[in-house]
Chains A and B, each alone.
Chain A
Amino acid sequence: MHEKRFHKRSIFLIAYMVFALLPVYWMVNMSFKTNTEILASFALFPQHFTWENYHLILTDVSWYSGYINSLIYVALNTVVSITVALPAAYAFSRYSFLGDKHVFFWLLTNRMTPPAVFLLPFFQLYTTVGLMDTHLAVAMAHLLFNVPLAVWILEGFMSGIPREIDETAYIDGYSFPRFFVRIFLPLIKAGVGVAAFFCFMFSWVELLLARTLTSVNAKPIVATMTRTVSAAGMDWATLAAAGVLTIVPGAIVIWFVRNYIAKGFAMGRV
């Protein structure tokens, strides 16, 4: 009875994993084919295996600069989000002050606002201050949803740390900044990791704002990919290869935080 149940669960899990991987596999498969092969024949494996598509992307500056641009603004956004969210999360988790609940709720609403609502104003705002087509513009725009999220996650982690630790440190003569950096930060390391993971994730996958706020110099890879639709038809092979390369950074990040994800969620907002 027990064995059989275990069996059923494994089958369900394997079925889901096949469902999860099949579409990705299909794209990987296509990225190793040539366009003629894609359109001419239908095969589960590439018949004429080729690195040509990857070679094109990694040697053409208009392609690979997209990856660099994306990584720059994502990194910038993650660092700024975490830095400003840390003291705020501490304030929310440790003190009560005038309007704290309202501010907390208001921050959350920004996470929930559709970016499409802010599209036009952002465009105008960043044009006015001369930030259009810079990495900073995209990083700033993504703060809209990442800062509230970071505050939300970090506040959960900090609330899990007993307040006696703060009080003991103050009695021992620690100043607030020294206490925060030397004692408190190491305690919530996992929380910072999880928050950074989510900031990275939501900034990396966003297209609408990133595309609208850039044109040439800071054009992200997700926007570059839209140009494979040309007069000669779709360039499926290059599109697939570019898509595969956008998955790589995410896969690397997941591998590093895999043990924190579950722990992080559990300690965080539960």
Chain B
Amino acid sequence: MSASNKPVNQKAWFLILPVLVCVAFSAILPLMTVVNYSVQDIISPERRVFVGTEWFVAIMRDEELHGALLRQITFSLAVLLIEIPLGIALALSMPAQGWRASVVLVVVSLSLLIPWNVVGTIWQIFGRSDIGLMGAALQGLGIEYSYTGNAAHAWLTVLLMDVWHWTPLVALLGYAGLRSIPDAYYQAASIDGASKLAVFWYVQLPKMRGVLMIAVLLRFMDSFMIYTEPFVLTGGGPGNATTFLSQFLTQKAVGQFDLGPAAAFSLIYFLIILLMCFVLFNWMQRVGTQAKEGDHA
């Protein structure tokens, strides 16, 4: 989407029509329903009252929401700070070819294809102090470890689980970026007598920038809507320790069936995501064109 010298052809709209129909059915219609709910008090299917912005005001003042939002932001930042460097390190140490490369690729990407609730289950089993390896090992070291009882432990376990689950995505993207660097670059670097660090900083990192940005974008967005794994592992507890935004929303909508506030919150949630997506997307596009111009120069 960056080249601007493409021929103008309005008939191209026909080609994207199928996509628009599909996405309209599964995105626009539901979104309109949410807007509809957010301004009404639904007492029963027949009795509804227009309440204007009442739900929005109520939800913005909700203390629980503030807590969930704060936890969410902390969690997403922690995820990025751990997974991006770890993923890059992993990508750098993966072998380039041969049977080792195949085995490593499969082992590393395995966790990505495990259903999210099974990821929760795996860590549930792994972390329990009576039957789990990690739980029992920590207990053996003299740490009173319990992800169901101790808020800090629960939080760290969810974070560790996310690192386990999603670092491979960053690693795979980085690995792909590394493989696209022509050998000539490395040869030139070794003629110049560049150190390993210099090669990483001036050759590998700039070449990985594109894929790493996708990694940052995907990891940020996906960690912002994490639901299933903490739901299975801790159920949002103990207390509210691991209740993130999606969890909070689902509790409101399905658990308490507060349609109005849930819909109002859905819209706010959606707008937050939209705003961040917009900023990141534009930033990516700008850096992308800069990189292209740099190549021509």
Contact = CB atoms under 8 A, between A and B. Distances in A.
12 contacts: A12-B89, A12-B93, A27-B121, A85-B19, A87-B16, A116-B225, A117-B266, A121-B31, A243-B122, A247-B113, A251-B113, A258-B106
Contact of A42 (B89, B131, B225, B266): B131
Contacts of A23: 122-123, 125-126, 133-134, 164
Contact of B6 (A38, A96, A226, A261): A96
Contacts, number: 288
A266 B179 contact: yes
B224 A114 contact: yes
Contact of B249 (A21, A103, A117): A117
Contacts of B133: 22-23, 26, 44
A261 B4 CA distance: 29
Contact of B259 (A9, A12, A117, A120): A120
A92 B263 contact: no
B105 interface: yes
A205 B227 CA distance: 12
Nearest to A255: B106
A73 B278 CA distance: 31
Nearest to B113: A250
B18 interface: yes
A72 B37 CA distance: 33
Contacts of B274: 109, 112
Given A120-B262, A269-B210, A10 B225 contact: no
Contact of B104 (A13, A83, A222): A13
Interface band, chain A: 35 or more
Given A91-B16, A143-B23, A266-B176, A117 B269 contact: yes
B141 to A, nearest CB: 15
A37 to B, nearest CB: 10
B273 interface: yes
A110 B277 CA distance: 10
A104 interface: yes
Interface string A92-128: 1011111011011101111111111111111011000
Given A95-B9, A251-B113, A261-B172, A121 B281 contact: no
Interface residues of B, number: 94
Interface string B11-40: 111011011101101110111011001000
B146 interface: no
Main secondary structure of the interface of B (DSSP, over half): helix
Contact of B15 (A87, A110, A240): A87
A147 B23 contact: yes
Nearest to A12: B93
Nearest to B161: A23
B22 A143 contact: yes
A56 interface: no
A254 B12 contact: no
A80 B18 CA distance: 10
A196 interface: no
Contacts of B19: 84-85, 88, 107, 147, 151
Q: Which of A9, A24, A94, A117 has the most CB of B within 10 A?
A: A117
A125 B131 CA distance: 43
A143 to B, nearest CB: 5
A91 B13 CA distance: 8
B25 A140 contact: yes
B176 A96 contact: no
Contacts of B164: 19-20, 23
A253 interface: yes
Contacts of A143: 22-23, 26
A265 interface: yes
Q: Which of A12, A23, A155, A159 has the largest count of B CB atoms less than 10 A from its CB?
A: A23
Contact of B177 (A9, A121, A266): A266
